[in-house]
């Protein structure tokens, strides 16, 4: 069956994938998320949001709506950055949303989000970017509908526009065509196959049919399409009809202005639109496309707004800001310049990739410098862990004290998915001779991940150093019961038994 790309059944597979997987999509590493959800992106967004509030001087609370919050990690990083770097902001509320209820259920019980929920700043709502036009807040029980908000709305969409329905158009010899999609490669029977297994096997074929404007009978969409028909001769255009329509729906919630902050793989320059082939699906359990930010920018410019983009094409992640309303946005532009154009998420990611190649030669003060640069990023810490285990003990005592504080900060910025960071931090604190603190982290690891043998063994070592012989002995006996050949455990137990007799 041929349909507009946005009506293709592939989007149902996408929905099934996210609804069935929930947060496991990221826990299992199937869907990438680091590049859009690290402290550097959050710090950049926080700076831009603070500058935007300065520019628009809101007379009513600002509402920040995050679309496709997924794992919830970005919300945590951003809320921490807003709190820490911008403590005097005008009042705002932050609404985490997704179309998968499973994700929402996970945020509800996530330890890192409880204080934010309790403070009344953060709420959550089921929101389908393809169709929903209101927000039913699940914590406060309020409903936000057309015109409900007096203050401005800030929309955050990271790795979201690449995942929601698009249409496809082609311009050939100045004539506009629509690409009607058919799924190919669909297995004869899908019984017993997961959405990811089906997505892996399928592809799309297109036939092209002439288009007359207005095509959508929606000025926001037809205005952008007209621009493409009139300004390009020969190209394919992945058209974010759902994304633009979603922004229109969200814009109507507020009587005020709107800012959109979005990070994704995608292109924004006119030269990147020319001469493109039909786009391919990128598979990662679910699937995604490269986002046509040029179309979003055209949409915002057509409606009298402004757009902030980098002067260069990104390597890993593109960050754009769309701004509606009649302001000159002086501070917002400067914040974008400092936090995206000059040094931002894309540059940081390149630096991090380079760091990975040299980590095993680095000294403690150098790793500390990168951890600070990264905003105490737990992923970077995890990557550095093998090297840190080698060098921590030999650092000077001043440096060890400094590193202790860095570890505290890494922990504070960490939003657990399943990395067992508490165990790693516990090990390093032990190396730093902070035995009581090491014990607390190892206990936390035991409580969250379960009583793994290495955790119990290292807890025993902490008790040993603290001269709490009986606790150390009990744990070592448990370790030896599980691993009768654990020679180190036996040696420590022997020493303890000597102390106890």
Ligand X SMILES: C[S@@+](CC[C@H](N)C(=O)[O-])C[C@H]1O[C@@H](n2cnc3c(N)ncnc32)[C@H](O)[C@@H]1O
Site for ligand X in 164-203 (CB under 6 A): 164
Does residue 105 touch ligand X according to CB under 6 A? no
Q: How far is CA 438 from the centre of its chain?
A: 29
**Residues whose CB is less than 8 angstroms from the CB of residue 377 and which lie 6 or more positions away in sequence, other chains included:** 38, 39, 40, 371, 410, 413
Q: Tell which one of 13, 49, 100, 384 touches ligand X (CB under 6 A).
A: 100
Q: Is 76 a residue that touches ligand X (CB under 6 A)?
A: no
CB of 404 to ligand X, least distance (A): 31
Measuring CA to CA, which residue among 361, 408, 401, 400 is closest to residue 381?
Answer: 408
Going along 405-488, which residue ranges are E strands?
none
The answer to whether the beta carbons of residues 62 and 154 sit under 8 Å apart is yes
Which residue is it, tokens 């919830």? 72
Rank residues 70 and 345 by Cβ distance to ligand X and give the closer one: 70
Give the residue with the Cβ less far from ligand X, 128 or 200. 128
* Total number of residues that touch ligand X (CB under 6 A): 23
290 binds ligand X (CB under 6 A): no
The residue number with the shortest CB distance to ligand X is 68
Name which of residues 10 to 29 contact ligand X (CB under 6 A). Answer: 18
Angle between helix axes 435-449 and 421-431 (nearest 10 degrees) is 160
The least CB distance from residue 291 to ligand X, in Å, is 11
Site residues for ligand X, window 343-362 (CB under 6 A)?
none
To ligand X, the closest distance from the beta carbon of 107 in angstroms equals 11
Pick the stretch among 97-105, 341-349, 405-413, 426-434 that binds ligand X (CB under 6 A): 97-105
* Piece in contact with ligand X (CB under 6 A), picked from 158-166, 204-212, 335-343, 457-465: 158-166
Pairing, β 135-136 against β 203-210: unpaired
* Residue 78 found at the interface with ligand X (CB under 6 A): no
Query: Residue 168 phi/psi, 5° resolution?
Result: -125, 135
Nearer to ligand X, 76 or 127 (CB): 127
For ligand X, the binding residue among 6, 10, 33, 426 (CB under 6 A) is 33
| C-beta neighbour count of 256 within 10 angstroms | 19
Question: For tokens 């320059």, what's the residue?
Answer: 269
Stretch touching ligand X by CB under 6 A, among 93-101, 197-205, 404-412, 459-467: 93-101
- Choosing from 8, 163, 324, 374, the residue that interacts with ligand X (CB under 6 A) is 163
Q: Which residues ranging from 126 to 145 are in contact with ligand X (CB under 6 A)?
A: 127-130
The gap from C-alpha 96 to its chain's centroid, in whole angstroms, comes to: 12
Identity of the residue, 103 or 458, whose beta carbon is nearer to ligand X in the bound complex: 103
| Nearest CA among 445, 450, 456 for reference residue 423 | 445
Instruction: Choose which of 68, 152, 195, 266 interacts with ligand X (CB under 6 A).
Output: 68
The distance of closest approach from Cβ of residue 126 to ligand X in the complex, given in angstroms and rounded to an integer, is 9
Q: How far is CA 375 from CA 77, 82, 109, 349, in A?
A: 10, 13, 25, 13
Closest CA to 95 of 126, 119, 53: 126
Asked if 247 and 258 count as a contact pair (C-beta separation under 8 A), the reply is yes
Checking 86-90 for CB contacts under 8 A at 24+ apart, the result is: 86/46, 86/47, 86/49, 86/50, 89/49, 89/50, 89/53, 90/53, 90/58, 90/61, 90/62
Answer for which of 45, 76, 99, 296 binds ligand X (CB under 6 A) is 99
Closer residue to ligand X in complex, CB, 130/362: 130
Minimum Å gap between C-beta 164 and ligand X is 4
Scan residues 462-481 and list those touching ligand X (CB under 6 A). none
Question: Which positions touch ligand X (CB under 6 A)?
Answer: 18, 31, 33, 36-37, 67-70, 74, 98-100, 103, 127-130, 158-160, 163-164
């Amino acid at each position: 069956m041929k349909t507009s790309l946005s009506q293709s059944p592939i989007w149902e597979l996408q929905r099934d994938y996210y609804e069935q997987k929930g947060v496991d999509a990221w826990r299992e590493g199937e869907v990438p998320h680091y590049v859009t959800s690290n402290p550097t992106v959050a710090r950049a967004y926080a700076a831009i949001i603070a500058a935007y509030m300065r520019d628009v001087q809101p007379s009513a609370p600002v509402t920040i709506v995050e679309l496709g919050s997924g794992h919830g990690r970005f919300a945590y990083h951003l809320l921490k950055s807003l709190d820490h770097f911008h403590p005097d902001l005008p009042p705002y509320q932050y609404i985490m949303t997704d179309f998968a209820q499973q994700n929402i259920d996970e945020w509800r019980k996530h330890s890192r989000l409880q204080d934010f929920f309790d403070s009344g700043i953060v709420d959550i709502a089921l929101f389908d970017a393809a169709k929903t036009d209101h927000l039913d807040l699940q914590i406060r029980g309020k409903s936000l509908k057309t015109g409900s908000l007096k203050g401005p709305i800030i929309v955050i969409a990271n790795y979201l526009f690449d995942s929601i329905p698009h249409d496809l158009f082609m311009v050939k010899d100045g004539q506009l065509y629509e690409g009607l999609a058919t799924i190919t490669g669909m297995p004869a029977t899908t019984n017993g196959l997961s959405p990811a297994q089906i997505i892996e096997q399928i592809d799309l074929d297109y036939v092209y049919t002439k288009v007359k404007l207005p095509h959508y009978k929606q000025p926001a969409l037809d205005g952008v399409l007209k621009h493409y028909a009139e300004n390009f001769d020969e190209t394919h255009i992945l058209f974010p009809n759902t994304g633009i329509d979603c922004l229109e729906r969200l814009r109507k919630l507020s009587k005020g202005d709107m800012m959109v902050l979005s990070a994704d793989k995608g292109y924004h320059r006119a030269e990147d639109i020319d001469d493109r082939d039909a786009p391919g699906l990128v598979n990662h359990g679910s699937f995604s496309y490269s986002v046509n930010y040029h179309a979003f920018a055209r949409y915002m410019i057509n409606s009298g707004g402004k757009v902030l983009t980098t002067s260069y094409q990104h390597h890993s992640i593109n960050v754009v800001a769309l701004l509606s309303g009649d302001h000159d946005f002086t501070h917002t532009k400067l914040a974008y310049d400092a936090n995206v154009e000059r040094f931002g998420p894309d540059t940081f990611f390149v630096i991090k990739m380079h760091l990975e190649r040299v980590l095993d030669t680095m000294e403690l003060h150098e790793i500390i410098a990168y951890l600070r640069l990264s905003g105490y990023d737990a992923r970077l810490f995890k990557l550095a862990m093998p090297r840190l285990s080698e060098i921590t003990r030999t650092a000077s005592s001043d440096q060890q004290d400094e590193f202790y504080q860095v570890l505290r900060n890494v922990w504070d910025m960490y939003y657990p998915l399943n990395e067992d960071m508490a165990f790693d931090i516990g090990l390093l604190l032990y190396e730093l001779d902070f035995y009581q603190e090491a014990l607390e982290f190892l206990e936390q690891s035991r409580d969250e991940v379960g009583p793994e043998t290495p955790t119990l063994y290292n807890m025993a070592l902490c008790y040993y150093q603290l001269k709490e012989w009986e606790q150390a002995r009990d744990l070592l006996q448990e370790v030896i019961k599980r691993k009768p050949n654990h020679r180190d455990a036996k040696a420590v137990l022997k020493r303890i038994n000597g102390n106890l007799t």
